[in-house]
């Protein structure tokens, strides 16, 4: 207000009219006409001389006034500007000082002072300050404590979330990370676990090239089996040198179950991961060299990579190196080294190594036979749920081999092995129920166990089902299962088929087919009963029928031989 009045006053002075000094005063009107005339006459004589002087004097006076006013205005304006600048400088100088203090106190973990400074400067909307303040609310650091009153956890976490979100609006990476982790892990009473919401926050961070966000996002996508979406992020991580991401890519392309298989890409990413001494990658690379997946087969390279992984402490690689030494794969056979590596892996409680060593001591292979040590190793492997150890121990208890016979323990171990979908476990459980070994005899349960294995083309289970149906006089089902078992080269099944064909059980009577089945049985298992049956059936056939049956049997036997070679 004072400033405005000063301006107006100066403006009035600038434009004030200046009275002319030679103009007659109105109070002289009472003078006589003569005096006026005389004065007028004199003035007219001098007017021409003084007019120029008066004009110049007025112009100088106005110029002087204007100059004074302009100087005054300049002084006032400069003072105002200087005052404003000083106030602005003072204001922001204090704010910057507080900001720096806030950050310093927070980094040095002086949370009490950090909380005061950050609270004071919160309105500046600096994302680092918002994040620091949110962290202090989140982890309850530096918050003022009221005596006798516990802090409201829900209110505290809500405030932390709000501060994190404010910082995240400005794409502050730590805020995006912490919000993603909060929704990933949840916060009691405030945040419910929500992987989709977590993925949204991590995606924002990942789009800004944040490594942590990309890592977390790719892990979420892999857990949710969104493999196609995970691949681009894994590739970016792998390009940054993340060996685990490169290994994940290698496994995805190698397995070909989640995304289309690509052995070349699998080998590329696996090799890149292995260069960073990733032991799992070295182990997988060894497998690729053995199988020739994505590269030419190279047993020596397979052994070198497996050996690096084993020396790096990977238990399954230790076991595999032992196997390579035992079989001479990529390296000369060295049984002493094989046993040494098996023992190294077993010392780290690797189940397959415990089982392999147990079998070696049980059979006396490359080591002195030691049944007690063998059983101990097999039990250790079984305790670690090694399926082969569970099956082997189950059979040992069922047969009383090396251990005291215990049908109950046998069933317990075989049922555990069956959880790993082992057909042999299904079969021996079928035997236990069909004969009542350690349980009540239950043919229905036996059929169920045998069927599970038989559907996987387990020959002995197919034969056992044939026997059960035969004894129940269910000849069609028996004929079917015996036929499937014979196709796998089972001699007794062929003999049963010959007998059933000769007597029309489950099929039409056919001496030709009976002769054919007995020929196959004789080849697979030559015994006197089969020879007697052949002689009896042969007399009922013409030479042409005998020749046709013999030719058919030869073809089948050759087929079995071919299958055996392929295996």
Return the exposure string of 275-304: e unless at least 16 CB atoms fall within 10 Å of the residue's CB, then b: eeebbbbbbbbbebbbeebbbeebeebbbb
Residue 30 CA from chain centroid, whole number? 116
Judge whether 132 and 163 are in contact, CB under 8 Å.
no
Torsion of CA 554, 555, 558, 563, to 10 degrees: -140
Secondary structure (H, E, C), 408-422: HHHHHHHHHHHCCCC
Looking at residue 13, its pLDDT comes to 53
Q: Give counts: helices (H), strands (E), the chain.
A: 27, 0
Q: Per residue in 417-446, pLDDT tens?
A: 999 999 999 999 999 999 999 999 999 999
**Residue whose tokens read 């260069």:** 275
Looking at residue 78, its pLDDT comes to 58
Judge whether 432 and 414 are in contact, CB under 8 Å.
yes
Residue 141 CA from chain centroid, whole number? 32
At residue 472, the 3 state secondary structure works out as coil
Helix 459-471 and helix 423-435: axis angle, to 10°?
Answer: 30
Judge whether 247 and 269 are in contact, CB under 8 Å.
yes
Alpha-carbon dihedral sign for residues 135, 140, 144, 150: positive
Gap between the Cα atoms of 440 and 322, Å rounded? 44
Looking at residue 83, its pLDDT comes to 52
Looking at residue 91, its pLDDT comes to 46
Judge whether 399 and 384 are in contact, CB under 8 Å.
no
Question: Of the candidates 19, 9, 14, which has an alpha carbon nearest to the alpha carbon of residue 62?
Answer: 14
Judge whether 475 and 469 are in contact, CB under 8 Å.
yes
Alpha carbon distances (Å) from 524 to 284, 405, 486, 489, 500: 41, 33, 10, 7, 18
Question: Of the candidates 297, 287, 300, 223, which has an alpha carbon nearest to the alpha carbon of residue 254?
Answer: 287
Residue 34 CA from chain centroid, whole number? 122
Gap between the Cα atoms of 412 and 408, Å rounded? 6
Residue 524 CA from chain centroid, whole number? 53
Alpha-carbon dihedral sign for residues 496, 497, 500, 501: negative
Looking at residue 354, its pLDDT comes to 98
Residue 51, H or E segment: helix 33-107
Instruction: Pinpoint the alpha helices (H) of 208-348.
Output: 211-223, 227-239, 243-255, 263-275, 279-291, 299-311, 315-327, 335-347
Long-range Cβ pairs for the range 380-387 (8 Å, 24+) = 380/349, 380/354, 381/351, 381/352, 381/354, 381/355, 382/413, 382/416, 384/349, 384/351, 384/354, 385/351, 385/416, 386/351, 386/352, 386/354, 386/355, 387/417, 387/420, 387/422, 387/425
User: Could you count the other beta carbons within 10 Å of the beta carbon of residue 331?
Assistant: 18
- Fill in the DSSP letter of residue 370: -
Beta bridge partners of 187: 191
Looking at residue 79, its pLDDT comes to 59
Judge whether 175 and 134 are in contact, CB under 8 Å.
yes
Alpha carbon distances (Å) from 44 to 22, 38, 49: 11, 10, 10
Question: Of the candidates 239, 244, 240, 217, which has an alpha carbon nearest to the alpha carbon of residue 230?
Answer: 217
Q: Per residue in 232-274, pLDDT tens?
A: 999 999 999 999 999 999 999 999 999 999 999 999 999 999 9
Q: Which residues of the chain have pLDDT under 70?
A: 1-55, 57, 60-62, 64-95, 147-151, 567
- Tokens representing residue 501 in the block: 């064909």
């Amino acid at each position: 207000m004072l400033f405005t009045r000063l301006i107006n006053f100066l403006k009035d002075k600038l434009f004030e009219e200046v009275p002319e000094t030679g103009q007659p005063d109105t109070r002289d009107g009472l003078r006589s006409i003569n005096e006026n005339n005389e004065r007028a006459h004199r003035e007219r004589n001098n007017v021409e001389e003084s007019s120029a002087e008066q004009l110049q004097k007025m112009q100088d006076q106005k110029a002087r006034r204007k100059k004074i006013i302009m100087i005054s205005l300049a002084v006032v304006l400069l003072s105002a500007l200087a005052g404003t600048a000083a106030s602005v400088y003072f204001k922001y100088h204090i704010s910057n000082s507080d900001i720096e203090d806030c950050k310093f106190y927070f980094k040095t973990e002086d949370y009490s002072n950090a909380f005061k400074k950050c609270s004071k400067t919160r309105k500046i909307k600096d994302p680092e300050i918002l994040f620091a303040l949110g962290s202090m609310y989140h982890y309850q650091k530096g918050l003022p404590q009221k005596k006798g009153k516990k802090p409201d956890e829900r209110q505290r976490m809500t405030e932390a979330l709000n501060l994190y979100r404010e910082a995240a609006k400005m794409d502050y990476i730590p805020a995006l990370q912490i919000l993603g982790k909060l929704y990933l892990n949840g916060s009691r009473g405030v945040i419910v676990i929500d992987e989709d919401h977590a993925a949204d926050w991590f995606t924002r961070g990942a789009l800004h090239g944040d490594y942590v966000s990309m890592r977390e996002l790719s892990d979420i996508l892999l857990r949710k089996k969104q493999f196609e979406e995970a691949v681009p992020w894994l590739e970016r991580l792998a390009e940054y040198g993340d060996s685990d991401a490169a290994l994940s890519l290698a496994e995805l392309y190698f397995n070909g179950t989640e995304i289309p298989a690509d052995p070349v890409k699998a080998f590329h990413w696996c090799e890149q991961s292995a260069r960073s001494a990733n032991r799992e990658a070295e182990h997988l690379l060894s497998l690729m060299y053995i199988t020739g997946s994505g590269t030419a087969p190279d047993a020596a390279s397979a052994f070198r990579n497996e050996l690096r992984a084993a020396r790096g402490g990977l238990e399954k690689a230790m076991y595999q190196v032992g196997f390579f030494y035992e079989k001479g794969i990529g390296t000369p056979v060295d049984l002493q080294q094989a046993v040494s590596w098996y023992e190294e892996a077993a010392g780290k409680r690797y189940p397959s190594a415990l089982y392999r060593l147990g079998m070696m001591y049980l059979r006396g292979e490359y080591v002195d036979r030691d049944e007690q040590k063998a059983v101990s190793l097999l039990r250790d492997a079984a305790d670690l749920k090694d399926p082969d150890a569970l099956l082997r121990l189950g059979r040992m208890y069922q047969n009383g081999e090396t251990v005291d016979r215990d049908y109950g323990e046998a069933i317990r171990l075989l049922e555990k092995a069956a959880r790993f979908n082992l057909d042999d476990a299904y079969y021996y459980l079928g035997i236990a129920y069909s004969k009542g070994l350690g349980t009540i005899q239950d043919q229905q349960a036996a059929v169920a166990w045998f069927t599970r294995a038989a559907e996987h083309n387990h020959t002995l289970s197919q034969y056992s089902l044939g026997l059960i149906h035969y004894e129940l006089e269910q000849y069609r089902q028996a004929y079917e299962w015996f036929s499937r078992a014979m196709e796998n080269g089972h001699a007794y099944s062929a003999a049963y088929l010959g007998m059933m064909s000769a007597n029309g059980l489950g099929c039409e009577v056919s001496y030709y087919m009976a002769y054919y089945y007995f020929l196959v049985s004789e080849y697979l298992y030559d015994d006197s009963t089969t020879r007697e049956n052949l002689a009896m059936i042969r007399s009922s056939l013409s030479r042409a029928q005998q020749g046709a049956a013999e030719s058919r049997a030869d073809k089948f036997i050759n087929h079995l031989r071919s299958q055996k070679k392929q295996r």
